[in-house]
Chains A and B, each alone.
Chain A
Amino acid sequence: MYDVIIIGGGVVGCALARELSRYNLHLALLEKEVEVGFGTSKTNSGIIHAGHHSSAGTLKGKFEWAGNQMWDDLAKDLKFGFRRIGELLIARQTEDLQYLQDLKKQGESRGVTGLELWDPKRLQKEEPNLSHTILQALHAPTAGVINPYEACFGLIECACQNGVELFCAHPVQSIKAVESGFLIHTQQQDFQSRIVLNVAGVYADRVAAMVGADNFKISPRKGEEYMLDRRLQGIVTHLIFPTPTATSKGVLIIPTVDGPIMVGPTAEDVDDREDFTTSFSGAAKVFASVQEYCPAISDRDTITEFAGLRAVADSNDFVIEGSSVRGFYNIAGIQSPGLTAAPAIATYVTEMLRADGIALTEKERWKADIDGPPRFSQMTPTERKAAILEDPAYGRIVCRCESVTEAEVLYAIQHGARTLDGVKFRVRAGMGRCQGGFCTTRIMDLLVQHLDVPLTTISKRGQGSEVCIPRRDQILAEDEV
């Protein structure tokens, strides 16, 4: 019997797991994918929003600024990259100017610091590659960038070291309210818990429906993103936002935390909750938009593209509440600025549980930080020499494009990576311009050696996505035996 079970290992679920792990609770997190962070949290823009975007009077507004201020400590404790590079919201038409004014006022009333309107002269000085026809920009220095999947890995690793039990590849099939709480059925095993936190992202309404607590609907909104070659690195140094439309913040230029520029996302309402597809029309829209304010960016520099689904609730705001079923909580509709808000949501939900009479006594020993993955590419020559002396695996580069060593890949495997994507998103091996053309077989070999499994079981992201199959004669030979 668990005290609390969290359904969904996205960034909010992982943040909740870590937050609740401070207390004497028996906790588990169930994730349907093979690793945490493999849904919406893997496929978004990776932006920690400045704090001024979301309207007052909404939960989004409430948690955007609160969450923003929590990321410095998290990044430091959990050893993932976070850079407050600042954001520029640009006005290209006279009617946009008022929006910039309003947003500045909204931010200031909330306490967002450093908001400043830049004239074209200042803008050209700071961002010479932006279109010279931009009328004005609102600079928000509090905005930052992270790799959201790294945040998930860090949060869950910290949670697990503080006692949270993680069950990946455990899609929840049904939930039954029973006297002592809930009986949660998965294909592999059943779980019992007093409290269920439903953080199931685009599936949150379906999970809620399993106990009849679905007083909201989720509709997926797809966003396509395009990662550009390092050739364009540094072409802009701030996050660039156009003035938004009703449904979207528009197509952004994102200097990612690792350096390369990413452009996107699109915003398209879709029916299929598994529609992670990119499209000709999406690419055309992204690059047409971006070229209007940064003409030097070209679709020919794309090294890879992906699509993610935002979970949009019918209220268009976050849904964070206890439900009609006692002990079952919905934390749903966490679309943008959901990543920013995640840590603030986690503390808010914790207080909600406390208010509902759940006993939260702090553990005597709770460890806030983790060691974090080594990053050879960021070491100085002296540090590199020392690292190699200690472990010769640092002397073997596995991924050439991103200078990832064998030692880092092994670290990823030791910390839970079971798939090529698991390695890639932990230590960047395979993420560069060759997209795994050279390093795939080497990473597969390392997975084989250290997990002691056959080569043909190694997958891209879990069962059904195996990278290779046995030779026919090998199958025949085994049949003969």
Chain B
Amino acid sequence: MKEIKNMTCIGCPMSCPLQLTIVDGEIEEITGYSCKKGEEYARQEYTAPRRMVSTTVACSGGLWPRVPVKTAESIPKETVLAVVRELHRYKVKAPVQVGQIILENVAGTGVAVVATRSLPGSKSEGQETI
């Protein structure tokens, strides 16, 4: 079976319209790119698209009620919603340190989720010096 798949390259502002010819699930041809980056992007995006995910997690006792987090590395695109759903059920307590692992192997992806800021307890002076 042959199908045509369209994409827009995200490599640079050129935004080249890419066209992938797919035969039996395999890429037969990629056209439309004007540099090598475009071809690589199309291949990656078709075979195994991945995304970084960032969101917030409930945090009690901190300066703010949520602490921002991200996946330590990109995860398969199809797992994004499951990852977010799991994180939104999760709760942590302040203080939190930037880079601290919040959750290992989130939604079975094998990827950890880390805090992207330090969140001192609401009473502490935090980062201020004066």
Give chain A residues whose Cβ lies under 8 Å from the Cβ of B89: 473
Query: C-beta contact mask, A159-188 vs B, less than 8 Å → 1, else 0?
Result: 000000000000000000000000000000
Tell me the complex Cα distance, A472–B89, Å: 10
Query: C-beta contact mask, B29-44 vs A, less than 8 Å → 1, else 0?
Result: 0000000000000000
Tell me the complex Cα distance, A168–B66, Å: 36
Q: Say whether chain B's binding surface is mostly helix, strand, loop, or mixed.
A: mixed
Q: Give A441 Cβ to nearest chain B Cβ, in Å.
A: 11
Give chain A residues whose Cβ lies under 8 Å from the Cβ of B51: none
Give chain A residues whose Cβ lies under 8 Å from the Cβ of B88: 471-473
Query: C-beta contact mask, B75-94 vs A, less than 8 Å → 1, else 0?
Result: 00000000000001100000
Query: Closest chain A residue to B91 by CB distance?
Result: A477
Give chain B residues whose Cβ lies under 8 Å from the Cβ of A473: 58, 88-89
Give chain B residues whose Cβ lies under 8 Å from the Cβ of A471: 88
Query: Closest chain A residue to B88 by CB distance?
Result: A473
Interface residues on B, range: under 10
Give chain A residues whose Cβ lies under 8 Å from the Cβ of B58: 473
Tell me the complex Cα distance, A47–B58, Å: 50
Q: Give A466 Cβ to nearest chain B Cβ, in Å.
A: 18
Query: C-beta contact mask, A440-481 vs B, less than 8 Å → 1, else 0?
Result: 000000000000000000000000000000011100000000
Query: Closest chain B residue to A477 by CB distance?
Result: B89
Query: Closest chain A residue to B85 by CB distance?
Result: A473
Q: Give A448 Cβ to nearest chain B Cβ, in Å.
A: 12
Query: Closest chain A residue to B90 by CB distance?
Result: A473
Query: Closest chain A residue to B87 by CB distance?
Result: A473
Q: Give A159 Cβ to nearest chain B Cβ, in Å.
A: 41
Query: Closest chain A residue to B84 by CB distance?
Result: A473
Query: Closest chain B residue to A474 by CB distance?
Result: B58
Tell me the complex Cα distance, A397–B58, Å: 29
Q: Give B58 Cβ to nearest chain A Cβ, in Å.
A: 8
Tell me the complex Cα distance, A471–B56, Å: 11
Q: Give A102 Cβ to nearest chain B Cβ, in Å.
A: 65
Tell me the complex Cα distance, A473–B88, Å: 6
Q: Give A321 Cβ to nearest chain B Cβ, in Å.
A: 57
* B residues 43-86 touching A (CB-CB < 8 Å): 58
Query: Closest chain B residue to A471 by CB distance?
Result: B88
Tell me the complex Cα distance, A473–B58, Å: 10
Q: Give B87 Cβ to nearest chain A Cβ, in Å.
A: 9
Q: Give B113 Cβ to nearest chain A Cβ, in Å.
A: 16
Query: C-beta contact mask, A132-161 vs B, less than 8 Å → 1, else 0?
Result: 000000000000000000000000000000
* B residues 87-107 touching A (CB-CB < 8 Å): 88-89
Q: Give B71 Cβ to nearest chain A Cβ, in Å.
A: 18
Tell me the complex Cα distance, A390–B81, Å: 52
Query: Closest chain A residue to B66 by CB distance?
Result: A471
Q: Give A454 Cβ to nearest chain B Cβ, in Å.
A: 12
Q: Give B16 Cβ to nearest chain A Cβ, in Å.
A: 36
Q: Give A470 Cβ to nearest chain B Cβ, in Å.
A: 12
Query: Closest chain B residue to A472 by CB distance?
Result: B88
Give chain B residues whose Cβ lies under 8 Å from the Cβ of A472: 88
Q: Give B123 Cβ to nearest chain A Cβ, in Å.
A: 16
Tell me the complex Cα distance, A334–B28, Å: 77
Q: Give B121 Cβ to nearest chain A Cβ, in Å.
A: 18
* A residues 224-255 touching B (CB-CB < 8 Å): none
Query: C-beta contact mask, A185-219 vs B, less than 8 Å → 1, else 0?
Result: 00000000000000000000000000000000000
Tell me the complex Cα distance, A471–B88, Å: 9
Q: Give A477 Cβ to nearest chain B Cβ, in Å.
A: 8
Tell me the complex Cα distance, A472–B81, Å: 14
Q: Give A468 Cβ to nearest chain B Cβ, in Å.
A: 13
Tell me the complex Cα distance, A473–B89, Å: 7
Tell me the complex Cα distance, A471–B66, Å: 12
Tell me the complex Cα distance, A346–B58, Å: 55
Tell me the complex Cα distance, A471–B89, Å: 11
Tell me the complex Cα distance, A472–B58, Å: 12
Tell me the complex Cα distance, A3–B1, Å: 87
Q: Give A272 Cβ to nearest chain B Cβ, in Å.
A: 41
Q: Give B8 Cβ to nearest chain A Cβ, in Å.
A: 31
Q: Give A469 Cβ to nearest chain B Cβ, in Å.
A: 15
Instruction: Tell me the A residues contacting B by CB distance below 8 Å.
Output: 471-473
User: Shortest 5 CB-CB distances between A and B: which pairs?
Assistant: A473-B88, A473-B89, A471-B88, A472-B88, A473-B58
| 5 A–B contacts from the bound complex (CB under 8 Å) | A471-B88, A472-B88, A473-B58, A473-B88, A473-B89
